[in-house]
Chains A and B, each alone.
Chain A
Amino acid sequence: MAAGRHSPSTEFEASPLRDWLVLIAASLGKIAVYSVGALVFWTLVTLPFGMAVTTVASGSMEPQIRTGDVVAALPVPESSLRERQVILFDDPAVEDRLRLHRIMDMSPAGIETQGDANPSPDPMLVSPEAVVGVGFVRIPFLGIPTNWVHSGEWIILGIFLFALGGSFAVSNLDRDLRRRDKSAQLASEDATVVSDRLPDGYTGRSGIWSQLAVWLLGRQPKLPVTRGFLGPSRFSELGGGVLVGLMVAALIAQVLTGATAAAAFWSSTSTTASLSAANSFVKPWSNAIFHWGYGEQSPNLGLALDDAGSTLENGTLAGSVVRATDGTNPFVTLDGISGQIYSAQFAGAAPNTFSVETWFRTTTTRGGKLIGYGNSQSGASTVYDRHLYMTDAGKLTFGLNQPGLLNLGILGGPITLSSPQSYNDGQWHLATVSVSSSAGTVLYVDGVAVASNSSMTTGQVASNGYWRVGYDSIASNWTGAPTSKYFAGNLDNTTLYPAALSASEASAHFAYGR
């Protein structure tokens, strides 16, 4: 044999079965390594085209785009955007985040987007300037390690890198096979066939790389073919190492600098507020003698205090009177058996020009007194009139005990007017009685006149009496005298005015509300 020719190893025990197993294992390793490399390769291919490469971090574009995909988006002019394209854009809802969703609609107000796996479009529109690009290439799986890094799953990442390194090691198990094959090939060839222009030390045909090396470098020292610096086996090892190195470098670069795009899930819920102001802010009782709104707090729970603060106009709660509120508006509940409210003593003559007013709500069928003037502070008055009471049927009646000629009771006596309708319907109503010594009496319910009598101008001559609310005497000779003198129901804003209210005032008081 020529000197320097590499001799085949005759000591090698060639086992066909072991060769096949090694080959299969190494091939599987190569497929694993090459697959990762191919994903990186195709990603790199997109870069010269100016595509923006991102990792998908969530799943609202499933099933077509999944968490862990790498997506390359191609920048396009605004005019090229079309409905149904998937676009990568600066998320308007979340700062410093990209979103990858599908265009649903385009309008001058903005682009409406939606995730394929979301039930409804994204709440915020996207401006065209925020669009980074249109989805063009989808490389599956390659973003999974990036997502592991971002979510801190170091153990799984470590396992993956270990598996990748292991696959690389396994993929080179067939190195021995290739070397044996190569040297056997050379051994079977006649060295003299090879050009004898080759200098000593060369074993002849050894592939393009070695020939190139010879040509470039001239005389060469002996280089075993199978270990030639640029021999095919070494090349494949070198190439494999470079490939793996590139992959790891690309993965690291992507993790450190690559953007992550969310395919964001979202959900929302809402409630409404609908508020409207009263038509009149002017407090009806600005000029009242007393006004009881029943909003007192402890320790004044037994009192109905006039808004003006004068103690003369305070009222006292007696019997079963319970304070209540419907959210923010206080009122009182009388039980119809013992509950009442009475004023302090009013010195001087009882008025003939005045108005009484109260909000009320009841379902009673036994009637009762709402408000009236009497000579007893808390008991059954013997001298009383100027009273508003409800009949058993629920109608409102107002009465004066007119003094008659020369105040001698001739052609005088009780005179009443009544509402045609009943109001014991469980709803809040406003009763306003306006008494004028010149024009007579008008009864308003809910701001509308329902009864009037121009002859009712003068009440009983009396003085130093009390205003009674919820209870006082009502003799049977009063028209529609109720079964119960105690009123059962709710009262609010009980007011005494020093003047005869006009129709427009009565209407405004109702518009003001409770």
Chain B
Amino acid sequence: MSRSTKSGRTKATRIARVAPWALGIAVLAVSGLAIGQSSYAAFSTTTDNPGSNWKAGAVTLSDDDAGAAAFSATGLKPGSTDTKCIKVSSTGDIGGQVKMYGTGHATTKALSDNLDLTIAVGTGGSFASCDGFVKSGDIYTGTMAAYAAAKTNYATGTSDWVSNKNDSRVYQISYKVKDTAPNTVQGGTSAMNFVWELQSGTGS
């Protein structure tokens, strides 16, 4: 019979000789097409609006001020002072370094230069009351004006807390109008947003 003439040569063995080349070309072609398609999909400029794919639960920073201002005070005089605590919490699946900085700074009559600002971090206490606050570190001591100039974004912000997912810190912010504030500061104003920001994959 023909098989004995071929002495062990079967359809399988024939295919086995072609297989390396056929499979190689096929894999190369299919992968090339797949990569081409995935590249187009990824880098096409006609995608949906970014943010519509928002991965809820990735990471969310929040605080306990319920939208209220930490400080909203008028009639300040040399020596006027106040302290506020605020609890910042991180929830979600992702950790990273939390940094604090200031935005939206505005001042008239150099009030910010005559405001001493002290920021500390720790645990205990809340926006309602600083009772029970235990300090674990000093973040900033200086004037409001110097803070506004130096700590302007994440890159330049103070860094004291590496969040390991679902944890929190309490920040204590204090201001005092310098006893030496001159009369030229009368009627002056100072406004600041204090921002806490977490970037994933940092600080570890």
Contact pick for A232, options B17, B50, B60, B115, CB 8 Å: B17
User: Could you mark each residue 275-295 of chain A with 1 if its beta carbon is under 8 Å from any beta carbon of chain B, else 0?
Assistant: 111111110000000000000
A116 nearest in chain B by CB position: B50
Q: How far is the CA of A429 from the CA of B27 in the complex (A)?
A: 87
User: Could you mark each residue 28-40 of chain A with 1 if its beta carbon is under 8 Å from any beta carbon of chain B, else 0?
Assistant: 0011001101110
Contact pick for B201, options A120, A180, A264, CB 8 Å: A264
User: Could you mark each residue 15-27 of chain B with 1 if its beta carbon is under 8 Å from any beta carbon of chain A, else 0?
Assistant: 1110110011001
Q: How far is the CA of A440 from the CA of B41 in the complex (A)?
A: 89
> B54, A117: Cβ atoms under 8 Å?
yes
Chain B contacts of A178 at CB under 8 A?
Answer: 13, 16-17
Contact pick for B35, options A37, A97, A138, CB 8 Å: A138
Chain B contacts of A48 at CB under 8 A?
Answer: none
> B55, A62: Cβ atoms under 8 Å?
yes
Contact pick for B54, options A9, A118, A262, CB 8 Å: A118
**Contact status of A184 and B194, CB under 8 A, knowing A117-B55, A271-B65:** no
Interface assignment of A441: CB less than 8 Å from any CB of chain B: no
Q: How far is the CA of A184 from the CA of B27 in the complex (A)?
A: 29
**Contact status of A264 and B199, CB under 8 A, knowing A19-B10, A278-B75, A513-B75:** yes
Within 8 A of B (CB), among A231-285: 232, 236, 239-240, 262, 264-282
> B13, A19: Cβ atoms under 8 Å?
yes
**Contact status of A124 and B59, CB under 8 A, knowing A8-B8, A274-B72:** no
Contact pick for B197, options A137, A267, A279, A327, CB 8 Å: A267
Chain A contacts of B59 at CB under 8 A?
Answer: 265-267
Q: List 30 A-B residue pairs with CB atoms under 8 Å apart, sorted by A's residue number.
A: A22-B12, A23-B12, A31-B23, A42-B35, A60-B58, A62-B55, A83-B45, A93-B155, A94-B202, A97-B202, A119-B51, A123-B154, A135-B43, A137-B35, A174-B16, A180-B9, A181-B16, A267-B59, A267-B61, A268-B197, A271-B86, A273-B70, A275-B71, A275-B76, A277-B111, A279-B186, A279-B187, A280-B186, A328-B82, A512-B75
Chain B contacts of A280 at CB under 8 A?
Answer: 186
A interface residues, Cβ below 8 angstroms from B: 8-10, 12, 14, 16, 19-20, 22-23, 26-27, 30-31, 34-35, 37-39, 41-42, 57-65, 71, 82-86, 92-95, 97, 102, 104, 114-120, 123-124, 134-140, 174, 177-178, 180-185, 187-188, 232, 236, 239-240, 262, 264-282, 327-328, 512-514
B21 nearest in chain A by CB position: A236
> B189, A38: Cβ atoms under 8 Å?
no
Q: How far is the CA of A58 from the CA of B10 in the complex (A)?
A: 51
Contact pick for A124, options B54, B90, B153, CB 8 Å: B153
CB distance from A182 to the nearest CB of B (A): 7
**Contact status of A140 and B194, CB under 8 A, knowing A93-B199, A178-B13:** no
**Contact status of A271 and B193, CB under 8 A, knowing A23-B12, A94-B202:** yes
B194 nearest in chain A by CB position: A271
CB distance from A18 to the nearest CB of B (A): 9
> B76, A272: Cβ atoms under 8 Å?
no
> A273, B16: Cβ atoms under 8 Å?
no
B105 nearest in chain A by CB position: A273
> A268, B71: Cβ atoms under 8 Å?
no
Q: How far is the CA of A83 from the CA of B49 in the complex (A)?
A: 12
Chain B contacts of A84 at CB under 8 A?
Answer: 45-47
> A64, B190: Cβ atoms under 8 Å?
no
CB distance from A233 to the nearest CB of B (A): 8
Count of interface residues, chain B, beta-carbon cutoff 8 Å = 95
**Contact status of A14 and B17, CB under 8 A, knowing A270-B193, A270-B196, A273-B190:** no
> A42, B8: Cβ atoms under 8 Å?
no
CB distance from A295 to the nearest CB of B (A): 11
> A273, B191: Cβ atoms under 8 Å?
yes
- Beyond contacts A85-B43, A268-B198, A275-B76: 16 other A-B pairs, Cβ-Cβ < 8 A, are A8-B7, A10-B7, A37-B27, A83-B45, A84-B47, A85-B45, A95-B155, A124-B153, A140-B34, A177-B12, A266-B200, A270-B196, A271-B69, A273-B69, A273-B70, A514-B75
Q: How far is the CA of A187 from the CA of B28 in the complex (A)?
A: 34
Chain A contacts of B72 at CB under 8 A?
Answer: 272-275
Q: How far is the CA of A265 from the CA of B56 in the complex (A)?
A: 11
Chain B contacts of A93 at CB under 8 A?
Answer: 153-155, 199
> A271, B70: Cβ atoms under 8 Å?
yes
